[in-house]
Structure 1
Amino acid sequence: MSEVNDAHTLAVSPARTASSGKSERDHELITLAGLLFEAGSAVRNRVSATLRDEVGIAPEAFEVLLRLSRSPQGRLRMSELSHHLDITTGGTTRMMERLERDGLVRRTPSTADRRVVYAEVTDTGRAELDRALDTHLDDLHDIFTTRLSAADLADLERGLRALRDAMLGD
């Protein structure tokens, strides 16, 4: 049995449940959260290292380019981008300044509302994203499709979408 499976077995063992005063379900939930954090961290670290070391792009820059290029009309309000990146508006502004200086993105004010600024990918940014995407996709295939069955991938996507939607709805 692998170390991870051993840890899971220990986490929900009857002796451990009785000694802690927590139910078996409580221990399963603790284990589930731990597995989610560990898997997410492992995937993020692997993808970040590949982007940085093999492609030569900062993972944060790649995420901005990817999110902007996949958004409706190829742009997002700066506030929306901050929300998607889960960083402060100040952090987003500093990141955008660097990416704008590199010619990868541009910020344009809204013509309808002076308070709104949009972020969008430039042609140079699209070319940089296209250059990185093949390596990124190879990495994702290796991470997911070589380790999980099609059914497991579908279950994982369904479960993560439901969790994300429920949590963002709170």
Structure 2
Amino acid sequence: MTDEEPAGCDINHPLITLTGLLIEAESALLARINSTLRSAGIATDAFEVLLRLSRSPGGRLRMSALSRQLTITTGGATRMMERLERDGLVRRVPGTADRRVVFAEVTETGRLELQRVIEVHVRDLIDVFTVRLEPDEVAALERGLRALRDSLTPADPAEDDPPE
């Protein structure tokens, strides 16, 4: 390794700065969300599972799609589901067409738990985003982050088929 940098690049490259800002903002936002949800009496990972399932068609996702969306291993998703099943918030349902496929499904208890904490979460997000950013900045941020996410984590069409 040499002390020379590639032509045209330096440590002050704007994309290095942008990446650093994104990572710092993500870290601060996650800490704030964790604190807010903890004070509301729910773990962040449980909230995220309930939210993703509740927003999915039929309140269910394939376990493989859920683990991909949560960016955790399938083993990690299984352990999380076991914990949430014990609490009655979700259930695992085998596929009817292919018994190897397992769906994660939110229960009525899980929907009620999500509803219990969603107002606190949204109030906090309003403070984070709409108090600090103009509406056009929020819209531009969403467009940019969605495009970045979609290009870096392409969906697996087999996992996103409608539930059976």
Under a length normalisation based on structure 2, what TM-score does the superposition of the two structures give?
A: 0.87
**Whole-Å separation in 1 of the counterparts to 2:74 and 2:43:** 19
- The one-letter code sitting in structure 1 at the alignment partner of 2:118 is L
Within 5 Å, give how 1:37-52 maps onto structure 2: 37-52=23-38
**Whole-Å separation in 1 of the counterparts to 2:10 and 2:80:** 45
> Structure 2: which 5+ residue stretches go unaligned?
156-164
Map Cα deviations across residues 13-37 of structure 1 (whole Å, 9 max, x no partner): xxxxxx9675369611110000010
Give the aligned partner of residue 15 of structure 1: none
**Whole-Å separation in 1 of the counterparts to 2:41 and 2:95:** 33
Question: What's the Cα RMSD here?
Answer: 1.9
Paired residues in the alignment total 151
**Whole-Å separation in 2 of the counterparts to 1:168 and 1:93:** 21
Bigger helix fraction: 1
**2:148 equivalent among 156, 163, 167:** 163
Map Cα deviations across residues 64-115 of structure 1 (whole Å, 9 max, x no partner): 0000000112100111110011001111001000000000000111111010
Give the aligned partner of residue 27 of structure 1: 13
Percent of aligned pairs sharing the same letter = 64
After TM superposition, where is structure 1 displaced by more than 4 Å over at least 4 residues in a row?
19-22
Larger RCO, structure (CA 8 Å, separation 6 or more): 2
Give the aligned partner of residue 48 of structure 2: 63
**Whole-Å separation in 1 of the counterparts to 2:139 and 2:152:** 20
Map Cα deviations across residues 28-48 of structure 1 (whole Å, 9 max, x no partner): 111000001011111111011
**Whole-Å separation in 1 of the counterparts to 2:74 and 2:61:** 13
> Structure 1: which 5+ residue stretches go unaligned?
1-18
**Whole-Å separation in 2 of the counterparts to 1:96 and 1:80:** 13
Q: CA deviation at 1:165?
A: 1.4
Within 5 Å, give how 1:70-109 maps onto structure 2: 70-109=55-94
Higher Cα radius of gyration: 1
Q: 1:72 to 1:149 in 2, by over 3 A?
A: same
**Whole-Å separation in 2 of the counterparts to 1:33 and 1:131:** 35
**Whole-Å separation in 1 of the counterparts to 2:108 and 2:26:** 31
